């Protein structure tokens, strides 16, 4: 089936929805999602969205700008960071006007709380900057934007799995997708395509990410020779529920929760004397692993405690109800009575599809764009988060840059006309699926996926070394070969989720390879990327973005300079 729209948006999380709101004011928009729209993983975002509203205490966008640059270990592009922090206040007010039920101060203003790495006066003390809707902030914004899209006539293609993004002669002309219900291939032609497909945490074993977070579109673009930027920087959130990886929001520490080791010590005092438990996530995660490695886990075991027992019970009930429920259901714990066992969990990809500040996808070191192709949200790398994202900046990123991409798309509408997609591309997509369905191999995608997730976790998480990364890249080669032997039990066309998982696996392995090789070549430690064999940050050689190009002979690297406009890189102390 063939569809034609002014713009096609892949992904119905916050970035995609915000862009759809913008574009649908001027043109026809299709949003493709492999789930139902309200199921996208943005809905799981808990703690807040950052903006220097100053509702609870004085705050300024430039402090936010400084914190974001420093939090990212000075790898973020400062022109982009400034755009985001300056636009944050307008963004929050706009969301409120759209109906987002933000939590309120006693006088009825949007309430704000402390979050990791957010400070006043350039690092002097934590500041209340995170606007929140209890601990369901993503969910609250998601529904407001989804409902707005419905009102503006955005057309949703629910449960459509993207197989290919058509790029011909440096121009993106459309998207080829599988309708999950029927197994039919659909072709969408458009003047502009926005990739807003989210993250790829499922490359790791323990993750806060959803099953759907498999990075399919990044894999597709990498296969087409588009580089992926800064893939070595993957954030581990300090407080995942032990054994499950389910996220416990940083807001828990923002409201007064503290981390304790097996000796009952508030160990963050040693690692970040000024802001302690509210240090950036990379530092807190490393601190937790260090405590555990040195035998100071709880009972010498492999977790620490997040202690909320000293926090006012009313605050827990009003502002942290969701995580309290998780603790009760999954751990049998009431967080106001007992500490929560936590361990870092793979959470957020700083790296992704390189874009400029208006979401245009860039294909090389000098910043040439691909016409009609845009990206925003976690799948994109603008880069505002640099080497480590601060909490409550991801929601802000999605809405600010989703909107900007939407505006940029409106600018090009009706200029070039809708392109066409070659019949060969469509045939190729159909053939790829048919081949997968026909194959009689003995391997199972699930088995290979688990091996991938385990290997990434063991060899490429918070601490990395050359030896482990080399053995990882070898292991990934083996896994890739095994995918050729995958045989499916389900040969049907209708709602074949076994087929989808096999398709996703190919992309997960590509992303694993790009992460591993990017980590291997960066011989320094910066932000979330810690090389035990190169423990220091090395600005002389490595103050630059990595661009990893996937080729048949393995990844090839290029580099892009970091745009520093305001804050010179300095040692990161908190």
How near is the Cβ of 185 to other proteins at its closest, in Å?
17
Contact map string, positions 490 to 509, toward other proteins, x by CB under 8 A: x-xxxxxxx-----------
Beta strands in 416-505 (DSSP E): 463-464
User: Which residue number, 237 or 253, has a Cβ lying nearer to other proteins?
Assistant: 237
How near is the Cβ of 6 to other proteins at its closest, in Å?
22
379 to 418, contacts with other proteins by CB under 8 A? none
CA neighbours within 13 Å on the CB side: how many for 11?
32
Of 281, 360, 482, 522, the catalytic one is 281
- Whole-angstrom CA distances from 49 to 125, 184, 232, 552 are 19, 39, 25, 40
430 to 489, contacts with other proteins by CB under 8 A? 444-447, 450, 454, 457-458, 461-463, 488-489
Q: Is 325 in the site for other proteins (CB under 8 A)?
A: yes
- Whole-angstrom CA distances from 83 to 61, 141, 222, 564, 565 are 10, 21, 28, 13, 12
Contact map string, positions 340 to 359, toward other proteins, x by CB under 8 A: -x-xx---------------
43 to 102, contacts with other proteins by CB under 8 A? 43-44, 92-93, 96-99, 101-102
How near is the Cβ of 386 to other proteins at its closest, in Å?
23
Examine the residue annotation and report whether 281 is marked as an active-site residue of this protein. yes
Could you tell me if 41 and 62 are in contact, meaning their C-beta atoms sit under 8 angstroms apart?
no
CA dist., res. 87 & res. 80, Å (int) = 11
Q: Is 41 in the site for other proteins (CB under 8 A)?
A: yes
User: Which residue number, 313 or 493, has a Cβ lying nearer to other proteins?
Assistant: 493
Question: Which of 181, 141, 152, 134 has its CA nearest to residue 23?
Answer: 152
User: Which residue number, 74 or 160, has a Cβ lying nearer to other proteins?
Assistant: 160
In the beta sheet, which residues pair with residue 192?
A: 7
9, 35, 408, 475: which one binds other proteins (CB under 8 A): 35
542 to 571, contacts with other proteins by CB under 8 A? none
322, 356, 504, 513: which one binds other proteins (CB under 8 A): 322
How near is the Cβ of 201 to other proteins at its closest, in Å?
11
User: Which residue number, 1 or 540, has a Cβ lying nearer to other proteins?
Assistant: 1
User: Which residue number, 169 or 489, has a Cβ lying nearer to other proteins?
Assistant: 489
Could you tell me if 262 and 300 are in contact, meaning their C-beta atoms sit under 8 angstroms apart?
yes
32, 165, 172, 210: which one binds other proteins (CB under 8 A): 210
Q: Is 368 in the site for other proteins (CB under 8 A)?
A: no
- For the record, the structure tokens of 85 come out as 């922090």
User: Which residue number, 306 or 343, has a Cβ lying nearer to other proteins?
Assistant: 343
162 to 191, contacts with other proteins by CB under 8 A? 181
User: Which residue number, 66 or 143, has a Cβ lying nearer to other proteins?
Assistant: 143
How near is the Cβ of 297 to other proteins at its closest, in Å?
8
How near is the Cβ of 116 to other proteins at its closest, in Å?
19
Distant-in-sequence, close-in-space partners of 5: CB < 8 Å, separation ≥ 6: 27, 28, 29, 30, 155, 188, 189, 190
Could you tell me if 505 and 445 are in contact, meaning their C-beta atoms sit under 8 angstroms apart?
yes
What is residue 539's three-state secondary structure?
Answer: helix
In the beta sheet, which residues pair with residue 8?
A: 30, 193
How near is the Cβ of 135 to other proteins at its closest, in Å?
10
- For the record, the structure tokens of 493 come out as 């066309």
DSSP class of residue 135 equals T
CA dist., res. 45 & res. 61, Å (int) = 22
CA dist., res. 139 & res. 135, Å (int) = 9
User: Which residue number, 244 or 432, has a Cβ lying nearer to other proteins?
Assistant: 244
Could you tell me if 315 and 561 are in contact, meaning their C-beta atoms sit under 8 angstroms apart?
no
CA dist., res. 465 & res. 530, Å (int) = 8
CA dist., res. 66 & res. 78, Å (int) = 9
Size of the site for other proteins (CB under 8 A): 80
Q: Is 18 in the site for other proteins (CB under 8 A)?
A: no
User: Which residue number, 86 or 365, has a Cβ lying nearer to other proteins?
Assistant: 86
326, 374, 534, 574: which one binds other proteins (CB under 8 A): 326
228 to 267, contacts with other proteins by CB under 8 A? 236, 242-244, 246
Could you tell me if 73 and 537 are in contact, meaning their C-beta atoms sit under 8 angstroms apart?
yes
91 to 150, contacts with other proteins by CB under 8 A? 92-93, 96-99, 101-110, 133, 136, 139-140, 143-144, 147-148, 150
How near is the Cβ of 453 to other proteins at its closest, in Å?
9
Give the number of residues written for the chain.
574
CA dist., res. 294 & res. 34, Å (int) = 43
- For the record, the structure tokens of 269 come out as 């005092």
How near is the Cβ of 168 to other proteins at its closest, in Å?
33
CA dist., res. 498 & res. 63, Å (int) = 48
Q: Which residues are catalytic?
A: 281
């Amino acid at each position: 089936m063939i569809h034609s729209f002014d713009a096609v948006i892949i992904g119905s999380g916050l970035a995609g929805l915000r862009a759809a709101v913008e574009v649908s004011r001027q043109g026809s928009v299709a949003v493709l999602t492999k789930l139902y729209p309200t199921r996208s993983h943005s809905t799981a975002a808990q703690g807040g969205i950052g903006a220097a509203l100053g509702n609870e205490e004085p705050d300024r966008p430039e402090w936010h700008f400084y914190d974001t640059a420093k939090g990212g270990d000075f790898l973020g592009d400062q022109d982009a960071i400034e755009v985001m922090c300056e636009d944050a206040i307008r963004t929050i007010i706009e969301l409120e006007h759209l109906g987002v039920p933000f939590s309120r101060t006693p006088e009825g203003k949007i309430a704000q709380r402390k979050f990791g790495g957010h400070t006043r006066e350039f690092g002097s003390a934590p500041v209340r900057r995170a606007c929140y809707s209890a601990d369901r902030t993503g969910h609250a914004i998601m529904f407001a934007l989804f409902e707005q899209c419905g009102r503006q006539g955005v057309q949703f293609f629910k449960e459509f799995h993207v197989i290919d993004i058509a790029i011909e002669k440096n121009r993106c002309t459309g998207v080829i997708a599988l309708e999950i219900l029927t197994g039919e291939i659909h072709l969408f032609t458009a003047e502009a395509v926005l990739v807003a497909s989210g993250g790829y945490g499922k490359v790791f074993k323990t993750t806060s990410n959803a099953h759907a977070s498999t990075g399919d579109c990044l894999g597709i673009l990498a296969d087409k020779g588009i580089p992926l930027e800064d893939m070595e920087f993957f954030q581990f959130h300090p407080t995942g529920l032990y054994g499950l990886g389910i996220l416990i929001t940083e807001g828990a520490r923002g409201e007064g929760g503290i981390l304790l080791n097996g000796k009952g010590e508030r160990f963050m005092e040693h690692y970040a004397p000024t802001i302690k438990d509210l240090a950036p996530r990379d530092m807190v995660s490393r601190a937790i692993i260090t405590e555990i490695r040195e035998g100071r886990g709880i009972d010498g075991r492999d977790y620490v405690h997040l202690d909320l027992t000293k926090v006012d019970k009313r605050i827990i009930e009003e502002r942290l109800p969701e995580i309290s429920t998780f603790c009760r259901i999954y751990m049998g714990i009431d967080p106001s009575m007992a500490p929560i066992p936590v361990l870092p969990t793979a959470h957020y990809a700083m790296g992704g599809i390189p874009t400029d500040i208006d979401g245009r996808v860039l294909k090389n070191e000098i910043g040439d764009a691909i016409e009609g192709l845009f990206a925003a949200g976690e799948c994109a790398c603008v880069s505002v988060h640099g080497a480590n994202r601060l909490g409550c900046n991801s929601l802000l990123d999605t809405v600010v840059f989703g909107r900007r991409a939407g505006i940029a798309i409106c600018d090009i509408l009706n200029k070039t006309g809708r392109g066409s997609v070659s019949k060969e591309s469509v045939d190729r997509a159909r053939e790829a699926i048919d081949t997968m369905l026909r194959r009689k191999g003995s391997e199972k995608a699930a088995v290979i996926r688990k091996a991938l997730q385990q290997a990434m976790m063991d060899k490429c998480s918070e601490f990395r070394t050359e030896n482990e990364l080399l053995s990882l890249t070898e292991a990934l080669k083996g896994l890739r070969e095994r995918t050729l032997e995958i045989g499916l039990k389900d040969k049907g066309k209708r709602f074949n989720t076994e087929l989808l998982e096999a398709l996703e696996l190919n992309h997960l392995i590509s992303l694993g390879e790009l992460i591993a090789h990017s980590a291997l070549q960066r011989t320094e430690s910066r932000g979330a990327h810690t090389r035990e064999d190169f423990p220091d940050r090395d600005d002389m050689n490595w103050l630059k973005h990595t661009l990893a190009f996937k080729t048949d002979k393995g990844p090839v690297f290029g580099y892009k300079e970091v745009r520093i406009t305001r804050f010179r890189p300095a040692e990161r102390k908190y």
